[in-house]
Amino acid sequence: MERLDLSKFCIRLGDSCLIMAHRQSEMCSKGPFLEEDIAQTNLGLDLLGQAEALLIYAAKLEGNGRTADDLAFRRPEREFYNFMLTEQPNTDFAFAIVRQYIMALYLTKVYETLAKVEDETISGVALKAVKEIAYHERHLGMWVKRLGDGTNESHDRIQTAVNELWMFVGELYEEDDLDVKLQEAGYAISGEEMKAYLMDKISAQLADATLSVPESVYMTTGSKKGIHTEYLGYMLTEMQYLQRAYPDAKW
Amino acid sequence: MSEVKDTQGQLWEVFIQTKKGLPFKHAGSVHAFDKEMAIQNARDLYTRRGEGRGMWVVPADAIVAVDPSDDESFFDPSNDKIYRHPTFYELPEGIKNM
Amino acid sequence: MGAEELDVLFQERIDANEKIEPRDQMPEEYRKHLIRQMSQHAHSEVIGMQPEGNWITRAPSLRAKKILLAKVQDEAGHGLYIYSATETLGISREELIDRLHQGKAKYASIFNYPALSWGDMGAIGWLVDGAAITNQVSLQKTSYGPYARSMVKICMEESFHQRQGYEIMAQMAKGTPEQKEMAQDALDRVWWPALMMFGPHDSDSPRTGNAMKWKIKRESNDVLRQRFIDKTVSQAELIGLTIPDPDLKWNEERGSYDFGEIDWDEFWSVVKGGGPCNIKRLNHHKKAHKDGEWVRKAAAAYAQKQSKN
């Protein structure tokens, strides 16, 4: 893999992890009970760790003097490449669970694949992440079942979340030129494979939770080109505030 | 379905084994609504700093405790039977492997 | 055995420095005192998540974000350890939360002040956690077993919190002029409320008598407060920040710092509900609780269904 392509790849993955971690951290002190507050923060910390490792490596590969913090705190919205799914808000607990669960499934496959690549930095990050994400899948899957097969209210809420977040799932198995290069080098599985895997897993889990798979009418696209939903701008405004307000300061 | 009450779940007691082969020690308690959640909550609360290799969770009301007022009749007799302790026995000097 | 005789036996155990365990015989007043103190301690940890939580999404570096998130998570964990210890006294967590919401149980007043800048993240970690450590180290020897054990566990985790805060202050104090100003401003606002964490003069504290007699409390408010000040002054000097007390002066004879008088009007006003954030903190907690009701019910319903199968 070429250095700059690998860097771009790490930024894409790192951005998704970062934005996911950020959304997760917004839930701190707002959990339905204290134990779940801790559980969600744990997931957030794992993702933040993955984001940091990936962005550090991306900056190194880029080799133009930018640091991981520069990438996180000084890029504008149109230069972020996280999936749109990751920036969807914590409308309620069900939305947070569905968003994170689908991403956990995706990341499982991604890290499994990366654990076997030649590049030692990346395989190192992946080997650690695989163990973390396995726990995420377990925890989040547990909640999908309990919310789906809990009360009428919880069932309705999580079905709504699934319905409204469905349009963002398509990006997870899209392929562009970089994806094709990654596949050829063994850094990614094909879009078809990813789609089949995701659909299998999701439909099985939803069925178990007495939920239905929405009919795919329209799948959104664009994050690989820096096109996002209106949420990202606000998130970055908050996240980047101190670094932008005090550009010469070191924190 | 009958009306569901709003609770914090049940109380579960947590026991942690820090290393394989060592006994399980009581670490504290957590709240959870079922077994799977209890195990996960206990892991998140009590093993964030690598404190454990093994863990048990037990519903608090499954635990049978000795009443402190029974302490004397329950525990004292074993204190009398000092021949249970290795230090009770006089062994010849130079003995090995015992 | 009559109640008076039992109380005498209990006091003998206390005087002999024995630990009291959950099912031991104890005076009802001792049990009630502990429930109040421990639950308020636990509530403080949980409410304390809010002022610091206020800056997680604005943490200015990946490392700072990670560390702050981990710290606030620890506070939740500490709350849980202490709730867990409190429940051994025969009261449910539902009841404890209810008392908090009804205003029947309090939490540390320090958290009724707003966290206004990143500098507050430094000042809170350094001073508020610092004061908490001073108090908690002393509580490791409290007479009630479960409480003492939770203090030991918390003390082990707490020193990372204080270092995190101090590191932020040190970094800002040697940074740009704006950063140094921000750090000093935070110190100016957090210092006195941190001293107030140790409570009123013991002579003005009605519960201190019993607390000391039963060895729930091992040292007086004023002793702990003095210890905290003596430890902290040089830490401020080392990074070039000024403690906002013109009367602060080393007293060679006492081997301690003399310091100015706390504004007791402010102290009592905030304790009684007149602080800048009392309403906000409690509303936040109530809202999270209410928003979570459907989730808790879902979990309960699911468990019920499984047990029927």
In tens, the pLDDT along C137-186 reads 999 999 999 999 999 999 988 888 999 999 999 999 999 999 999 999 99
**Subunit contact C72:A41, Cβ cutoff 8 A:** yes
CB nearest to C301's CB, from B1, B31, B37: B1
Using the Cβ of A63 and the Cβ atoms of chain C, whether some distance falls under 8 Å is answered with: no
What's the rounded mean pLDDT across residues A55-73? Answer: 97
Residues of C in contact with A149 (CB under 8 A): 302, 305
Q: What are phi and psi of A136, to 5 degrees?
A: -60, -45
Percentage with pLDDT > 90 across chain C: 91
Percentage with pLDDT > 90 across chain B: 39
Fold of B10-64: Ubiquitin-like (UB roll) (3.10.20)
- pLDDT of A193 above 60: yes
pLDDT band, residue B86 (cuts 50/70/90): low
- SS3 of A138-181: HHHHHHHHHHHCCCHHHHHHHHHHHHHHHHHHHHHHCCCHHHHH
Residue A152: closest C-alpha in chain B: B1
- pLDDT of A32 above 90: yes
Q: Is residue A81 part of a domain?
A: yes
Residues of B in contact with A151 (CB under 8 A): 1, 4
Using the Cβ of A124 and the Cβ atoms of chain C, whether some distance falls under 8 Å is answered with: no
Helices C293-308 and A152-165 pack at an angle, to 10 degrees, of 110
Using the Cβ of B97 and the Cβ atoms of chain A, whether some distance falls under 8 Å is answered with: no
CATH number, domain at A123? 1.20.1260.10
Radius of gyration of chain C, Cα coordinates, nearest whole angstrom: 21
pLDDT band, residue A203 (cuts 50/70/90): very high
What's the rounded mean pLDDT across residues A30-43? Answer: 95
**Subunit contact C300:B4, Cβ cutoff 8 A:** yes
Percentage with pLDDT > 90 across chain A: 98
In Å, what is the CA distance from A123 to each residue of A62, A186, C159?
Answer: 18, 12, 34
Nearest C-alpha of chain C: how many angstroms from B76? Answer: 17
Going from N- to C-terminal start, the domains of chain B cover: 10-64
Residues of B in contact with C306 (CB under 8 A): 34
In tens, the pLDDT along C265-278 reads 999 999 999 999 99
**Subunit contact C80:B4, Cβ cutoff 8 A:** no
Predicted pLDDT of residue B52: 74
Q: What are phi and psi of B45, to 5 degrees?
A: -85, -40
**Subunit contact B41:A42, Cβ cutoff 8 A:** no
Q: Is residue A250 part of a domain?
A: no
Q: Is residue A9 part of a domain?
A: yes
Q: For C249-271, b where at least 16 C-beta lie within 10 A, e where not — what string?
A: eeeeeeeebebeebeeeebeebb
**Subunit contact C293:B69, Cβ cutoff 8 A:** no
CB atoms within 10 A of CB B66: 11
B neighbours by CB contacts (3+ pairs under 8 Å): A, C
Predicted pLDDT of residue B3: 78
- What does the mean pLDDT of chain A come to? 97
Among A194-203, C150-159, C221-230, the range scoring the smallest mean pLDDT is: C150-159
- pLDDT of B1 above 60: no
**Contact status, residue A147 vs residue A162, Cβ threshold 8 Å:** no
Q: If we measure between CA atoms, which residue out of C276, C221, C278 comes closest to residue C100?
A: C278
Interface test with B, best of A24, A28, A33, A35 (most B CBs within 10 A): A35
Q: Give CA–CA dist A145/A150, Å, rounded.
A: 8
Q: Find all residues with CB under 8 Å of B12, minimum gap 6, and list them.
A: B29, B30, B31, B32, B38, B41, B42, B57, B58, B59, B60
Using the Cβ of B11 and the Cβ atoms of chain A, whether some distance falls under 8 Å is answered with: no
What tokens does C155 get? 């003390």
**Subunit contact B4:C304, Cβ cutoff 8 A:** yes
Helices C129-139 and C221-238 pack at an angle, to 10 degrees, of 140
**Contact status, residue A113 vs residue C261, Cβ threshold 8 Å:** no
Q: Tell me which residue range forms the domain holding A66.
A: 3-245
Helix (H, G, I), strand (E, B) or coil at C270: helix
Q: Is residue A126 part of a domain?
A: yes
- pLDDT of A77 above 90: yes
- pLDDT of B70 above 70: no
Using the Cβ of A160 and the Cβ atoms of chain C, whether some distance falls under 8 Å is answered with: no
CB nearest to B31's CB, from A35, A42, A139: A35
pLDDT band, residue B82 (cuts 50/70/90): low
B54 bridge partner residues: B17
Nearest C-alpha of chain C: how many angstroms from B72? Answer: 13
**Subunit contact B44:A151, Cβ cutoff 8 A:** no
In tens, the pLDDT along C235-274 reads 999 999 999 999 999 999 999 999 999 999 999 999 999 9
**Contact status, residue C60 vs residue B7, Cβ threshold 8 Å:** no
CB atoms within 10 A of CB A234: 12
Domain count within chain A: 1
In tens, the pLDDT along B31-62 reads 999 999 999 999 988 887 776 788 999 999 89
Predicted pLDDT of residue B53: 80
Q: For A90-117, b where at least 16 C-beta lie within 10 A, e where not — what string?
A: bebbbbbbbbbbbbbbbbbbbbbbbbeb
Predicted pLDDT of residue B76: 64
Q: Give CA–CA dist A187/A194, Å, rounded.
A: 13
Q: Is residue A251 part of a domain?
A: no
Interface test with A, best of B1, B5, B29, B44 (most A CBs within 10 A): B44
Q: Give CA–CA dist A27/A182, Å, rounded.
A: 34
- SS3 of C229-255: HHHHHHHHHHCCCCCCCCCCEEECCCC
Residues of A in contact with B45 (CB under 8 A): 35, 38
**Subunit contact B30:C80, Cβ cutoff 8 A:** yes
Predicted pLDDT of residue B78: 60
DSSP B19-63: STTSPPEEEEEEEESSHHHHHHHHHHHH-TTS--SEEEEEEGGG-
Helix (H, G, I), strand (E, B) or coil at C296: helix
Predicted pLDDT of residue B73: 67
**Among all chains, which residue has been given the structure tokens 């089949």?**
A196
What's the rounded mean pLDDT across residues A23-40? Answer: 96
pLDDT band, residue A156 (cuts 50/70/90): very high
pLDDT band, residue C118 (cuts 50/70/90): very high
What's the rounded mean pLDDT across residues C100-106? Answer: 95
pTM above 0.90, yes or no: yes
Residues of C in contact with A31 (CB under 8 A): 288, 292
